Structure 1
């Protein structure tokens, strides 16, 4: 479709799509996509537009305002916006971009992980694959090809995945991820030993407060919760796959005594260790 929006060249095009209920429940799905040439002075301000936006800048540069902060996106950079929130984008000199409004059951989780809720302008080491998937999706609509929801979702997933694994992450985030990865490996290797917050934070050369904060961010658990979850999971494996006594499993999983093990296990699994074992297929040790 040709656009008639003020400040957008009439050689620009866009396409609207209405996803079915099944696609909305299962997939990432597009709402609209386009290739726009924005004139100098163009400005768009919205309180919300229920979707998430990819904008690949192909030329020029644009400014984006979200949460009272201004960002600038240049050629080959990607703007990733939560359009459920107020947002503005504009340029004094104009820019060219391909864009996609999309949504899906886990779109917000991807957005929050990729942008860390503030880094809405992203730089890929190589934007070729991202652009290739965006082009495929755009051409599907431009060339009036049959729309296959699963395939369209795959294109969007490919773009999201590349942003997850290949974007330039600030060094402090890389460092945090490395520290937590090393810590979780240490916990697994020393599960039967006493593990305290102070000990783990000291190993990471961080304060207990900051260590807990980045650990929770990376894993979804506090250090204490992660240790307990790992011990319970280890106990579940032994209960399912061995005939070792519950008392022995208690100590092999790092619990101080059988009473503590049984109460903790029941709190997490809503079953006692004995009842959990009865609900699973047991095997004998080889």
Structure 2
């Protein structure tokens, strides 16, 4: 459909989608999408528009307001907004953007993980894949191509994954993430070792204090909490998939005694290892 919105240049088009009940229950889904060219002086202010917005700036520049702060967005950048909250965008020079309003299962989680308290204007090292999937969604509707909702979900997930994984980070958080990812791999490989805080900090070439803060920030666990969770998860797998004795499982997952294993397992799961094994098999 061609837009008649004031300040949007003639020829700009948009499409509206009504998701199925199943899509609302399990998928991310588009609500509307379009390719707009905006005149100088265009402005939009909303208290709410129940969705999340991805806007890829093709040409020109605009200003975005959310959370009481104003940000500038230019060519090649991506704007990600939580439109459930008050927001605005405008321009004094004009701009062109391909955009998608979406919602659905996990939408808020993706939004929070991508921004992580940072600005809603994101610079990607490479926009090829984001543009590809964003344009795929737009073309599905412009060309009236029949598409399964699972594929629409997949396209949106791919876009959000690009934003989550590949954005530039002015505060070197990508480096921090890499350090913690390496540490988690190290923990998996040495789960039966003592794995002291000093061991893990040394592996990351950081002081124990700074390592602990960084690990908590990136993973949501303290290093000790993560090691315990990993050991308990390994024990749960062995309890439900093998006939190995509880004593042997205890030592093969890095616990130093059967009593400490049983105590920790119950604290984490609410039941003893024996009860867990029985509940799975009966």
Q: TM-score, normalised by structure 2?
A: 0.87
**Correspondence 1:80-95 to 2 at 5 A:** 80-95=80-95
Counterpart in the other structure of 2:22: 22
Deviation, structure 1 residue 24:
1.0
How far apart, CA to CA, are the structure 2 residues paired with 1:136 and 1:234? 41
Change beyond 3 A, Cα 1:220–1:18: same
Q: Which consecutive residues of structure 2, in runs of 5 or more, have no partner in the other structure?
A: none
**Correspondence 1:41-80 to 2 at 5 A:** 41-80=41-80
Counterpart in the other structure of 2:115: 115
**Correspondence 1:245-256 to 2 at 5 A:** 245-256=245-256
How far apart, CA to CA, are the structure 2 residues paired with 1:213 and 1:103? 33
Deviation, structure 1 residue 135:
2.0
Deviation, structure 1 residue 61:
0.8
Question: Once superposed, which parts of structure 1, at least 4 consecutive aligned residues long, lie more than 6 Å away?
Answer: none
Change beyond 3 A, Cα 1:242–1:8: closer
Confirm whether residue 268 of structure 1 aligns to residue 268 of structure 2: yes
Q: Which moved more, 1:165-174 or 1:43-52?
A: 165-174
Counterpart in the other structure of 2:224: 224
Change beyond 3 A, Cα 1:115–1:255: same
Q: Which moved more, 1:94-103 or 1:215-224?
A: 215-224
How far apart, CA to CA, are the structure 2 residues paired with 1:174 and 1:222? 19
SS in 1 for 2:6: coil
Deviation, structure 1 residue 13:
1.9
Change beyond 3 A, Cα 1:230–1:58: same
Counterpart in the other structure of 1:142: 142
How far apart, CA to CA, are the structure 1 residues paired with 2:145 and 2:242? 55
**RMSD of Structure 2 on Structure 1 (CA):** 2.5
Deviation, structure 1 residue 243:
4.3
How far apart, CA to CA, are the structure 2 residues paired with 1:134 and 1:159? 7
Aligned pair count?
281
Deviation, structure 1 residue 6:
2.2
How far apart, CA to CA, are the structure 2 residues paired with 1:8 and 1:48? 20
Please say if residues 111 and 117 of structure 1, whose CA atoms lie closer than 8 Å, have aligned partners that are also in contact: no
SS in 2 for 1:41: coil
How far apart, CA to CA, are the structure 2 residues paired with 1:139 and 1:240? 47
CA deviation string 1:126-185 (max 9, x = no partner): 323322222222122223344532232222222222323333344621221122123223
How far apart, CA to CA, are the structure 2 residues paired with 1:81 and 1:236? 40
How far apart, CA to CA, are the structure 2 residues paired with 1:112 and 1:213? 20
Counterpart in the other structure of 1:173: 173
Change beyond 3 A, Cα 1:201–1:101: same
Q: TM-score, normalised by structure 1?
A: 0.86
SS in 2 for 1:177: helix
Counterpart in the other structure of 2:160: 160
How far apart, CA to CA, are the structure 2 residues paired with 1:147 and 1:178? 37
How far apart, CA to CA, are the structure 1 residues paired with 2:70 and 2:5? 24
Confirm whether residue 36 of structure 1 aligns to residue 14 of structure 2: no
Q: Which consecutive residues of structure 1, in runs of 5 or more, have no partner in the other structure?
A: 282-286
